[in-house]
Chains A and B, each alone.
Chain A
Amino acid sequence: MLVEVSGLQKIYGTAHGATSVALRGVSFELAAGSFVAVMGPSGSGKSTLLQVIAGLIEPTAGRVVIEGRVIHDLPEAERAALRRRRLGLVFQEPHLLDGLTVEENVLLTLAIDRPVGPAERERVANVLRQLGILDLAKRFPAELSGGQQQRVAIARALVHRPALILADEPTGNLDTVSSARVLEAFVELKQCQGATLLLVTHDPLVASYADRVLVLVDGQLYSEIWRNGERRELFYQRIVASLGALEGAYQ
């Protein structure tokens, strides 16, 4: 297994002494090369789950094992090395560095690990081409639309060919065509390089690209929907039906 999440709990404290439980004992596993979507209503703990897996915040209890290593037991330097070599992170917002061009923003991911040369520049060009933004390579983020910025952010997460991609609503700011292009890039990455994807989304259509959907409710794993080799359209319908059932159960 590439990722093992077991008994994950996260409680946020407040200044007034009150607490808020974001995750309540979430457990699941991700096999290498799988594509898993996380869905759930607002406040169900989806983003928190992603941040804990990425080692950005500490869990209150439970553990996350990535490639056999418990991420929260790692020293900060090793955790940073893991993030820059094995993880690709995509956020709800693009978070591009405004003083760097598109090419430089993407190159930064590689440069943080080691000095980069022509080969790396070529790799950046390939990723930009794959996402349809190669012609924007010399532009600055302020000159791009929101959707274009998000595609640059995705290129930045893919360029170093990570083993695990954690994406939090990556297509939230994109139009349908751009969303499809990004999701196809994810699928291609998975198929060609065997990358594992964990993607948080509200959109059943986006989730239908995955092999498996985890539904979180109130910080708990409510249900899992597996795609059993069926076509995407059918899987989409099943996801919608499951979410409808969830809504009915709520009411």
Chain B
Amino acid sequence: MSWRRLWFRRALRRWRIVSGYVVAFATAVLLFYFFETVGRSFQQDISGYFGGFLVGVLRVFQGIVLLSACWMVVFFHQLVLERERPALGLLWTLGLSPTGRLFLVLSESLFLGIWGLVIGLAAGVILEPAFLLAMTVALDLPTRLPYRPNTNAILLTVGIFLALALLEGLVNGIRLMRRWPRLLFVRREPRHPGRPSLVASVAGVALMAAAYLLAVTVHPWAFEQQARAFAEGRSPLPSQLVWLVLVPVLLLLTLVGSWLILRESFRGAVAVARRTPVVSARLLVSGSEIAWRVREHALGTAVLAGLLAFAALGGTALATAQLQFLRSAIEDQPSIIEIRATDPSSTATARETARQLAAFLEREGFGPVEAYEFEVVPGFVRPVAGTEPVLERPPTAWLPPGAVPALIVERDAYEELRRTIVRFHPELDALLPSVPPLAPDQAFLVLQGTNRWDPSGLLDAPWLVAGDRVELVALPMRQLLTGEAVSELAQAIDRAPQQQALITGYDTYRGLIVSRGFGIFPFSLVIVVDSETFAALQRPRDGMLDPGAGSLLVTSLFYDDWQASASKLEDWVHTPGNVEGDVTVSPLPTIYRQERQNTAALLFLLGAVAVLFLVAYGATMSFRILEASWDDVRRARLLLRLGAAPALVRSLFRWEIVFLFLAPLGLAALHSLVAVVDWGRTMAVGTVLRFHPLWTPLIVWTSILALSLVVVGCWITALGQSTVREVMRRAASEREPE
């Protein structure tokens, strides 16, 4: 029998001690796997619907989850090692070699990590369908996300977490190789929190006040300036620069201010309190100890409070931005409702849907409603050889290099649509480009965007210029592309018939009119062509992906006061039986609903990350409690020798644990309070909540946070109780080393 076997046997007998680490590891694996597979399901099934936004957000969250998971796992392993210090110290004194110590920690880390990995992955595979179902139901997603056990996701999770366990075991093992774990012979000097500095205290308070003041005044102002710049077509750069400078300044001021307050002001308060005529044992003993510990961990506590507030602040910032998207989704829509059909056999149904919707709107008092019907051909455009693209377009998986998805419209239909839009919205006359008559094989490009959000500056960068020659490829389709159909399309593109055209003009429309309802297009480009070219592109031919599909039939409904109709319109569209088969009503209800779901999903995900932060926070605090417990033994012994009742000593230690647990949370709550005020002021820039308040996800988020806080509180309470019991036991049984 070797010592490794003895150690392994011991670990199995003491599974309670290491179970926390295994559970933490499994939780981290579960969360990572959850985000990984949700991201993949979103990409495969509803990325079009969500316009890629949520997928991007998911990736960011996945990164945050991974970092938080690493943090949590590392801290839990530290906890295990902290508890194992006596045993490790003993092995060291018994002559265990440095490589033996490395092997011990590394093998333990890997062994426990593999257990956590297996449990986490098994839980992930079992619970993932339930997660997905809950998410799709809670967020009212249009499709039920099917769960597919994904080999790549499993391999990625296994690889990342095995590497984490290995790395962590190596780092801790090497640390243990180089120095011995203090325990058997502890020699500590008496602690003294030092004299507080009045100047530093005042500076800390001033810095925090400055940070808070900037947060509630300059931040909303900068946001408002940015929104105005977008709305008025000006460059938002100055206000963006202010925002960019403001954020790090805010972070720095908050961090330094918190640090100084924790470092100086608290021990100052304790020092002042101790000068009062009547002082209690609690103040004398615990006041000094807490002042010392708060000072010792001032920077860590400030960072911890900042990280906790980050969940709230980051959530606030993201929610604010998302709500601005929501507002844009509402306000950028002109009063046009589009009814589309992609299959020629659905034309009659589409016309009937348009008629019924128009009648409904008139019955509800929004009339008169005017209908305009026209056809478009979905496809893509790409420059032919010899053309130098000015702007590099982001490639998509199925498009050839340089190609951009586009809607192709016949020139007269476009001009008629334009005239109708301008009749209802004269202010758009200057914005909506007018296309001159076109000769055969000539084309005019209209890039559509929004006047509120153009982060990549696409609207100001002409891609093709007059004189360039392009090829137009029609890709009529009856369904949104998902899964395998996308790869089929990539192959079909090579076989698709082409039509070449000469660009005669280019212009930009800073507002949305058509096309956002079809999510396969990452952005909107309208190619206006002459009637002969349009007829050629409309004609079904061999080689097309979906030869049965025709051009899109679009019926636009125009009427006044569309905003007031939004909620009724949405209800009508989603009432079963009103819109059926191959007919789509877009864009307003769809876009609005999409943005609302994005917002709810964002809050949902923020809640999940906040829970992770809280668990990590609990791990950090547990680590500190256990670390401090070795010193508490001496204090307990001293107090008992002085005649203090054990109940008083226990109460003092519990009080210290509660205080040290709540201090960063209190600071984080203060930060979050300011963030909420900031949020309120930022949101006052515009009114968006009159349609659909987001109370449900907000309540869910807050409830999850509160619940997890309670769980972490219970965890710390239980740990604190057992630690205090252990401290008292040791204090009563051991003698002071010399």
Considering the chains assembled together, what is the distance between the CA atoms of A14 and B188 in angstroms?
A: 8
Considering the complex, which residues of chain B in the window 67-123 have a beta carbon less than 8 Å from any beta carbon of chain A?
86-87, 89-100
Q: Tell me if B94 and A77 are in contact (CB < 8 A).
A: no
Interface flag for B734 (CB, 8 Å): yes
Considering the complex, which residues of chain B in the window 547-597 have a beta carbon less than 8 Å from any beta carbon of chain A?
none
Interface flag for B693 (CB, 8 Å): no
What residues of B have a CB within 8 angstroms of the CB of A57 in the complex?
A: 185
Known: A15-B189, A98-B14. A146 touches B98 (CB 8 A): no
Interface flag for B1 (CB, 8 Å): yes
What residues of B have a CB within 8 angstroms of the CB of A156 in the complex?
A: 94
A166: nearest chain-B partner, CB-CB: B93
A140: nearest chain-B partner, CB-CB: B13
B192: nearest chain-A partner, CB-CB: A16
**In the assembled complex, how far is the CB of residue A22 from the closest CB belonging to chain B, in whole angstroms?**
9
B190: nearest chain-A partner, CB-CB: A14
Cβ proximity bits A97-139 to B, threshold 8 Å, 1 near / 0 not: 1111000100111011101110000000000000000000000
Q: Tell me if A111 and B3 are in contact (CB < 8 A).
A: yes
Q: Tell me if B737 and A80 are in contact (CB < 8 A).
A: no
Considering the chains assembled together, what is the distance between the CA atoms of A8 and B161 in angstroms?
A: 49
**In the assembled complex, how far is the CB of residue B96 from the closest CB belonging to chain A, in whole angstroms?**
5
Known: A80-B98, A87-B95, A112-B100. A97 touches B185 (CB 8 A): no
Q: Tell me if B185 and A47 are in contact (CB < 8 A).
A: yes
The stretch of B4-12, B129-137, B248-256, B474-482 that contacts the partner chain: B4-12
Interface flag for A6 (CB, 8 Å): no
The listed residue (A20, A47, A82, A111) touching B738 by CB distance below 8 A is A47
Q: Tell me if B738 and A104 are in contact (CB < 8 A).
A: no
Interface flag for A76 (CB, 8 Å): yes
A117: nearest chain-B partner, CB-CB: B1
Cβ proximity bits A146-177 to B, threshold 8 Å, 1 near / 0 not: 10000000001000000000000100110000
What residues of A have a CB within 8 angstroms of the CB of B276 in the complex?
A: none
With contacts defined as CB atoms under 8 Å apart, how many contacts are there between chain A and chain B in the complex? Answer: 105
Q: Tell me if B189 and A99 are in contact (CB < 8 A).
A: no
Cβ proximity bits B1-32 to A, threshold 8 Å, 1 near / 0 not: 11101100111011000000000000000000
Q: Tell me if A56 and B180 are in contact (CB < 8 A).
A: yes
**In the assembled complex, how far is the CB of residue A203 from the closest CB belonging to chain B, in whole angstroms?**
13
Interface flag for A222 (CB, 8 Å): no
**In the assembled complex, how far is the CB of residue A56 from the closest CB belonging to chain B, in whole angstroms?**
6
**In the assembled complex, how far is the CB of residue A140 from the closest CB belonging to chain B, in whole angstroms?**
8
What residues of B have a CB within 8 angstroms of the CB of A46 in the complex?
A: 738
Interface flag for B735 (CB, 8 Å): yes
Considering the chains assembled together, what is the distance between the CA atoms of A16 and B95 in angstroms?
A: 33
The listed residue (A89, A95, A100) touching B86 by CB distance below 8 A is A95
Interface flag for B638 (CB, 8 Å): no
Among B98, B184, B734, max chain A CB count under 10 A is at B184
What residues of A have a CB within 8 angstroms of the CB of B539 in the complex?
A: none
What residues of B have a CB within 8 angstroms of the CB of A238 in the complex?
A: none
Known: A15-B189, A100-B6. A113 touches B99 (CB 8 A): no
Q: Tell me if B94 and A89 are in contact (CB < 8 A).
A: yes
Interface flag for B733 (CB, 8 Å): yes
Known: A83-B93, A95-B90, A112-B96. A56 touches B185 (CB 8 A): yes
Q: Tell me if A51 and B185 are in contact (CB < 8 A).
A: yes
Considering the complex, which residues of chain A in the window 31-83 have a beta carbon less than 8 Å from any beta carbon of chain B?
42-48, 51, 54, 56-57, 76-77, 80-83
What residues of A have a CB within 8 angstroms of the CB of B92 in the complex?
A: 80
The listed residue (B86, B95, B99) touching A83 by CB distance below 8 A is B95
Interface flag for A4 (CB, 8 Å): no
Cβ proximity bits B343-357 to A, threshold 8 Å, 1 near / 0 not: 000000000000000
Interface flag for B275 (CB, 8 Å): no
What residues of A have a CB within 8 angstroms of the CB of B6 in the complex?
A: 100, 104, 107-108, 111
What residues of B have a CB within 8 angstroms of the CB of A146 in the complex?
A: 733
Considering the chains assembled together, what is the distance between the CA atoms of A116 and B6 in angstroms?
A: 11
Q: Tell me if A44 and B738 are in contact (CB < 8 A).
A: yes
What residues of A have a CB within 8 angstroms of the CB of B13 in the complex?
A: 99-100
Considering the chains assembled together, what is the distance between the CA atoms of A81 and B11 in angstroms?
A: 25
Contact count band on B: 35 or more
Interface flag for B187 (CB, 8 Å): yes
B4: nearest chain-A partner, CB-CB: A111
B187: nearest chain-A partner, CB-CB: A12
Q: Tell me if B95 and A82 are in contact (CB < 8 A).
A: yes
Interface flag for A92 (CB, 8 Å): yes
**In the assembled complex, how far is the CB of residue A119 from the closest CB belonging to chain B, in whole angstroms?**
12
Considering the chains assembled together, what is the distance between the CA atoms of A14 and B94 in angstroms?
A: 28
Q: Tell me if B189 and A18 are in contact (CB < 8 A).
A: yes
B15: nearest chain-A partner, CB-CB: A99
Q: Tell me if A89 and B91 are in contact (CB < 8 A).
A: no
What residues of B have a CB within 8 angstroms of the CB of A45 in the complex?
A: 738
Considering the chains assembled together, what is the distance between the CA atoms of A116 and B185 in angstroms?
A: 29
Q: Tell me if B93 and A112 are in contact (CB < 8 A).
A: no
**In the assembled complex, how far is the CB of residue B512 from the closest CB belonging to chain A, in whole angstroms?**
65
Known: A56-B185, A97-B10, A112-B95. A92 touches B733 (CB 8 A): no
Interface flag for A85 (CB, 8 Å): yes
Q: Tell me if A95 and B184 are in contact (CB < 8 A).
A: yes
Q: Tell me if B95 and A100 are in contact (CB < 8 A).
A: no
What residues of B have a CB within 8 angstroms of the CB of A89 in the complex?
A: 93-94
Q: Tell me if B1 and A107 are in contact (CB < 8 A).
A: yes
Considering the chains assembled together, what is the distance between the CA atoms of A48 and B187 in angstroms?
A: 10
Considering the chains assembled together, what is the distance between the CA atoms of A172 and B736 in angstroms?
A: 11
Known: A80-B97, A89-B94. A99 touches B9 (CB 8 A): yes
What residues of B have a CB within 8 angstroms of the CB of A84 in the complex?
A: 94-96
What residues of B have a CB within 8 angstroms of the CB of A117 in the complex?
A: 1
Considering the chains assembled together, what is the distance between the CA atoms of A45 and B184 in angstroms?
A: 16
Q: Tell me if A85 and B95 are in contact (CB < 8 A).
A: yes
Q: Tell me if B1 and A81 are in contact (CB < 8 A).
A: no
B185: nearest chain-A partner, CB-CB: A51
Considering the chains assembled together, what is the distance between the CA atoms of A109 and B93 in angstroms?
A: 10
A120: nearest chain-B partner, CB-CB: B1
Considering the chains assembled together, what is the distance between the CA atoms of A98 and B10 in angstroms?
A: 8
Considering the chains assembled together, what is the distance between the CA atoms of A46 and B14 in angstroms?
A: 35
- 7 tightest A-B CB contacts, nearest first: A84-B95, A99-B10, A83-B95, A14-B189, A111-B3, A99-B13, A99-B14
The residues of A with any CB-CB pair to B shorter than 8 Å are: 12, 14-16, 18, 20, 42-48, 51, 54, 56-57, 76-77, 80-85, 87, 89, 91-93, 95, 97-100, 104, 107-109, 111-113, 115-117, 146, 156, 169, 172-173
Q: List 10 A-B contacts (CB under 8 A).
A: A48-B738, A57-B185, A95-B86, A95-B89, A99-B9, A100-B13, A104-B6, A104-B10, A108-B91, A117-B1
Additional A-B contacts beyond A108-B94, A112-B95, A172-B735 (11; CB < 8 A): A16-B189, A76-B98, A91-B184, A93-B184, A99-B13, A108-B3, A111-B1, A112-B3, A112-B96, A112-B100, A173-B735
